Amino acid sequence: MARGLLLITKVVWWGGTLFTALVGYSALEVLLNPGSGMWRGIPYKPGLGDLAIVGLLAALGLAGLLVVVVVALRGRAAIALGIGFAVLVATRVAAIAIIPTPLNTDWGDYQLQAIQLAATGVYDSPRPPGFPIALSVLYRIGGPNPLFGELLNLACAVVVGILIVVLGKRWLGDVAAAVGLYAWAISPGPVLFTAVLASENLYTPFFIGALVLASLAVKGRFALWAGAAALLGLSQYVRPASLVLVPALVLFVLLTGLPRRRAALAILVLTFTFLVVLSPGIVWQYQRFGWLTLSTSNYDGLNLLVGLNLKSDGQYNRGDLALAGSANRGDLALAGSATNSREFHDRTYRLAIQRLLSEKSAIPALAIRKIPILWGDSTYGAKWAINANPVHDLRAGTIMAVLSQLAYAAATLAAAAFLFVRRRERDMVSLLFICCLGAVAASEVFLEVQSRYHAPLEPLFYLLAGGFVAWLAGPRGTQVQTASSLTASASSNLPS
């Protein structure tokens, strides 16, 4: 049985390594191919001077990274981490101060719903309630100023930075933790997205926090499985994307090689706690629409419908915007009913199933075309904070888009390289990352895609990239607790 588990772990690890390499290749192709979606979506085409600015900013970021590595290698991890946190706060405060808060599209709807919720206590949006509730609490205290939402995003970024450090120091060593923190702190995509009232900013600390608790639970702190599931349950109220992460954590439990009883109990605790935390949402959705669902959104049918759209490659189209209303989604024209109604939900699901059955042979090719859209493009920060902002500087947006893509391509390729070099000594962070990456990638075969949807996984890309930098630094840079040794130890408790 131990041999079978080891074989399955190897297959999962290699699958995750190859897919991460595909993500890195896709990111590089998007950057270098003038015909890619990134370049076609940039309204201002850069000249040599603009590219020189990109090179200068990249060189400054790389110089800071080298400083962090040298300081961490000299045993001054606290100083290296201090540099990372200082940069994290400074870059995001600058983004908040410089960029006018965009209140168009989804962000404007979140703002309006939060204001209504703060004033009346009524929430009637088809969107998940978590982010508007968080905004409304702040608005009750200080008034409906979107600056409070941006400060919430800043606080969430600091929490994510702390979680990166906890994961990195626990499993990959001080150098990896310091480099991962600094690299994520200077990455333009997450930095610029701080100025946007987007739910991904609040979702990410719940998601990464769940992974931290899961990694610690393997070491015998069994109650932490409940904590991990609770955070995933709470995150489902922010974005309805965590359903696929529960099976990912179940797979992680099995791959760690825990004794069968402990593994079964961990899986039971994970599933039960997740459902308990989500039960108020289940009751709420039943009261609103008269049907039982684990989704906290009324857009799940629409998400599937759009995700199966061959013409738009699984992205929202621009047809019939008048009927789409504030949601600004073209496929609502097909739905033909109010978005916060049971009729809308049933009709979009019915249309999605019809589309799936009629075009099922084309789904594999569609899934391949989605990879550069969801995984290869990381210009969401520049797009939504600057280029799609009613008040924008297109030249700055282009420079930041190119810089974002450059940083993301480097991080994903380095993460893939790290998974390869650690293939015999599998650490918990990488194993968790692979399980979650696979679950999200599998679900997005059928669901709607946007580049910002991979944002919660970006801190892990940068942390694994930090692990690769630490590996390059030699023995002084690495201090890794391996999952393979834990598997071997745990498997020895199994009956032969």
- What is the reported pLDDT for 37? 83
- Whether the per-residue pLDDT at 490 is higher than 70: the answer is no
Please state the rounded mean pLDDT for residues 446-470. 96
Give the CA dihedral 159, 163, 169, 175, nearest 10 degrees.
-60
Q: What is the pLDDT of residues 28-63, one digit of tens each?
A: 999 999 888 888 888 888 899 999 999 999 999 999
Type and span of the H or E element at 82: helix 77-98
Percent over 70 (pLDDT), the chain: 92
Considering only residues 182 and 6, tell me which one the structure prediction assigns the higher pLDDT. Answer: 182
- Whether the per-residue pLDDT at 371 is higher than 90: the answer is yes
- Whether the per-residue pLDDT at 76 is higher than 70: the answer is yes
- What is the reported pLDDT for 166? 96
Place of tokens 């400083």: 67
Which of 171-180, 186-195, 351-360 has the least mean pLDDT? 351-360
Q: What is the pLDDT of residues 216-257, one digit of tens each?
A: 999 878 889 999 999 999 999 999 999 999 999 999 999 998
Tell me the sheet residues that pair with 482: 427
- What is the reported pLDDT for 477? 62
- What is the reported pLDDT for 483? 44
- What is the reported pLDDT for 389? 83
Question: In 290-393, which ranges are continuous DSSP H helix?
Answer: 300-307, 321-324, 332-335, 342-358, 363-371, 380-382
- Whether the per-residue pLDDT at 366 is higher than 90: the answer is yes
CA atoms within 13 Å, Cβ hemisphere of 108: 12
Q: What is the pLDDT of residues 428-445, one digit of tens each?
A: 899 999 999 999 999 999
Q: Rounded mean pLDDT of the chain?
A: 89
Considering only residues 154 and 2, tell me which one the structure prediction assigns the higher pLDDT. Answer: 154
- Whether the per-residue pLDDT at 215 is higher than 70: the answer is yes
- Whether the per-residue pLDDT at 8 is higher than 80: the answer is yes
- What is the reported pLDDT for 273? 97
Q: Are 389 and 396 in contact (CB under 8 A)?
A: no
Confidence band, pLDDT 50/70/90 cuts, at residue 479: low
Token digits of residue 15: 């699958």
- What is the reported pLDDT for 491? 36
Check: pTM over 0.75? Answer yes or no.
Answer: yes
State the DSSP code for 471. H
- What is the reported pLDDT for 407? 97
